[in-house]
Structure 1
Amino acid sequence: MTERGLSVVVPVKGRVQETRALLASLRDAIAYCPEPVQLLLVDDSTPADARLHRAHCTEHGATYVLGPRYVGAKRNLGVRLARYDLVLFIDSDCLATPDLLQRHLKTLRTAPPEVGAVAGPTYLQGADTTVFRVMRRSRLLNAAFEWPGQCRRVAWATTCNLAVRKSAFQSVGGFAERPLTVVGGEDVDLGIRLTEAGWTITCDPAAVVVHDKGSTDSLGTVSRRLVTYGRSGQWLLDVHPKRGRPKLNRTGVLVLAAMAALPGLRHSRGRTALLVPLAAAALLARDTRERLAPTDESLTSVAEAAACALLDWSFDLGEFIGALQLGRPDRIFTGFGWTDDEAFEWDRTPDRPYGG
């Protein structure tokens, strides 16, 4: 019989110093937790980084586990090795707040039996940089991290801050181990399967995790993350086809504009090539307006909103790539209905659907 307590599963590759800081924060949080806690680090780093991870696990009382490449498979392995009946998933580039463990433990212990998981919000560390200010306008990059601070319950939650009953997790088969991307989408899929199986994912706005600002330290980093999210959306459409909905894909529009321009290039002396920049300008103007607050009047605000819109197009690019990778070009203008579910109970409904 599984013992009562909390097992914490951390998947990792690289991120040596960030993971050391996470382990230290978890060790501090254990002091406030009324039940026993087990820390499991599941790693597939290079040998040099793995040696450091092992040393840091010894330093902070964690168990080091050599794991597979895909993040979902790492988490599944962690759950199989979990000693206790409750499991918390947290990411290696995050920090636990002091009362994180006790909050999750208390919420699950006092919740009705149909509550299979508890989601807490994850907030990005502040940074006074241009990239940070630009991406604070995005509804894609960190929006889902903050939903548990805005909802009473959700259909799915990011697994950088999600506690589950081990029995509920096992009842739906755990995470998908080979999605389209190494990381991305497996948390959404898990939550939807839990919800469809009759479990509830409730939210605790006070169970807070802090995300390292390294995830938004450069425009390239942000763009790559959004491409991954977009690709994962197409994989989710394969797994949950009923959640597809029409979506304006900016990359798809520009590709169609380019294809329409090509036949007339010679006869128009290249003028039909203007279709692409004209379409791009119209889309950018529309998306920039959506990201401007009523109080935004300065040129700097407009420039930041336009930059955010362009970066958010990386998500559309990911959807475009994912549709082609999966052999489904017919889905280029179909998006995944990320929040199209009555299981979401909002304190404040978002202004625009995630992924829109």
Structure 2
Amino acid sequence: MKYPFVSVVVGIRNEEKFIEECIESLLNLDYPRDSYEIIIVDGMSTDKTRDIVQKYPVTLLLNEKKNVAAARNLGVENARGELVAFTDGDCKADPQWLKTLVHEMQASPDDVVCFGGPNLIFDTDPVFGRVVGYAQESFLGSGGSAQSKNSTKKHYVSSLPNCNAMYKKAAIKEVGGFDERFVVGQDGDLNYRISKKGNKFLYIPNAKVLHHRRGTFKSFSVRMFKYGVWMAELFKKHGEFVRWYAFLPSIAILFAVILLITSIKFFIPSLLLLALMTVYFILVFITSIQVTYKMKSKYGLFTLFIIPVQHVAYGLGFLYSFTNSPLISKDSSCSDI
């Protein structure tokens, strides 16, 4: 195969715990070393991250805006390659990762402009993080999205997470790059705009990246709330749902509240509410068994709490966005890169 030059961009902030592992995995890719560059974009880290990065033969850029979207724009702006691959500072790339992405790019039609693979779980991560990771691989946890499902079949998808994705740079520049006002969900917004140009995204199961799962119950809840907020902002910006399941948790919350209020006077709403909650928790229980089986650990049963918390926090975040001034207007556009 031919080896076109690829720019690998990693946006980071305070990643002293994992950045060394990430960089070493990128330096040891099975791809000619003179055919790719590694660009680390640091969001003004306050720990030892930059000291660690400077030990390696990589390009270090400083991102004064600190957010991930700005980091990726800066990386693209300084990329020498016409292909730009993204991963995160808490990820570890498989040695065949880049070669697999490039090979699929060369074998695909011109309208396929983004290629990516699974977002796998480290078995050595803390229990809570692993349970969250496996729970989000389920249908209840991800809606079947490529971001989390980790399918074993190659297929076209509507979007790919930027912890594991390679783009034709021209496709990113054509739509004006990442919208830097998005604190989270910036890759979903970019991919939506790219897809509106008639372009496609290819999921490749063999292009593997391991991604550390972290956090606590509290931080997980806050993160899900923020995802809900920014998914609503995506809707307000584009005037339609970027993901079909985005509104379901908030609709379920509103419907449950209405049934609860009306059940004070009427008997049927209380029966309907009970029936729906029973079905929901049966599905959650089945999912928890699946996670327990995957983990081969009783801790998989934590899914019984994690999935409902995810749905409620996400739904409340979505509703919150509609009760406050819009963060992103429908007619707003991104600055060129």
Q: TM-score range by the shorter chain?
A: 0.7 to 0.9
C-alpha deviation, 1:174, in angstroms: 1.3
Check conservation: 2:6, 2:81, Cα contact below 8 A. Answer: yes
Check conservation: 1:9, 1:42, Cα contact below 8 A. Answer: yes
Check conservation: 1:39, 1:62, Cα contact below 8 A. Answer: yes
Any idea what the Cα deviations from partners look like across 1:47-82, whole Å, max 9, x if unmatched? x42xx3333223221111111222112101110000
Check conservation: 1:137, 1:291, Cα contact below 8 A. Answer: no
Partner in structure 2 of residue 247 of structure 1: 248
Task: Indicate the larger mover: 10-19 or 127-136.
Answer: 127-136
Residue 88 of structure 1, aligned match among 82, 85, 89: 85
2: CA distance between counterparts of 1:320 and 1:80?
36
Partner in structure 1 of residue 163 of structure 2: 160
Q: Which runs of 5+ in 2 are unaligned?
A: 293-297, 328-337
Question: What amino acid is the match of 1:318?
Answer: G
2: CA distance between counterparts of 1:224 and 1:112?
41
Task: Report whether the alignment pairs 1:21 with 2:18.
Answer: no
RMSD: 3.7
2: CA distance between counterparts of 1:150 and 1:198?
23
Partner in structure 1 of residue 141 of structure 2: 140
The total of aligned residue pairs comes to: 306
Any idea what the Cα deviations from partners look like across 1:330-349, whole Å, max 9, x if unmatched? xxxxxxxxxxxxxxxxxxxx
Check conservation: 1:254, 1:279, Cα contact below 8 A. Answer: no
SS at match of 1:213: coil
Partner in structure 1 of residue 120 of structure 2: 123
Partner in structure 2 of residue 178 of structure 1: 181
2: CA distance between counterparts of 1:286 and 1:240?
33
- Once the two structures are aligned, what percentage of the paired residues are identical? 23
Task: Report whether the alignment pairs 1:63 with 2:59.
Answer: yes
C-alpha deviation, 1:9, in angstroms: 0.8
SS at match of 1:10: strand
C-alpha deviation, 1:235, in angstroms: 0.9
Question: What amino acid is the match of 1:59?
Answer: K
Task: Report whether the alignment pairs 1:292 with 2:285.
Answer: yes
SS at match of 2:41: strand
2: CA distance between counterparts of 1:177 and 1:75?
9
Partner in structure 2 of residue 222 of structure 1: 220
Question: What amino acid is the match of 2:73?
Answer: N
Check conservation: 2:69, 2:186, Cα contact below 8 A. Answer: yes
2: CA distance between counterparts of 1:148 and 1:232?
26
2: CA distance between counterparts of 1:145 and 1:294?
14
Partner in structure 1 of residue 332 of structure 2: none
Q: Which runs of 5+ in 1 are unaligned?
A: 262-270, 329-356
1: CA distance between counterparts of 2:54 and 2:13?
18
Task: Indicate the larger mover: 78-87 or 170-179.
Answer: 170-179
Task: Pick closer, same or farther for the CA change 1:192–1:59 going to 2, 3 Å.
Answer: same
Tell me the TM-score normalized by structure 2: 0.77
Check conservation: 1:115, 1:200, Cα contact below 8 A. Answer: yes
SS at match of 2:286: coil
Check conservation: 2:233, 2:326, Cα contact below 8 A. Answer: no
Task: Pick closer, same or farther for the CA change 1:278–1:53 going to 2, 3 Å.
Answer: farther
SS at match of 1:210: strand
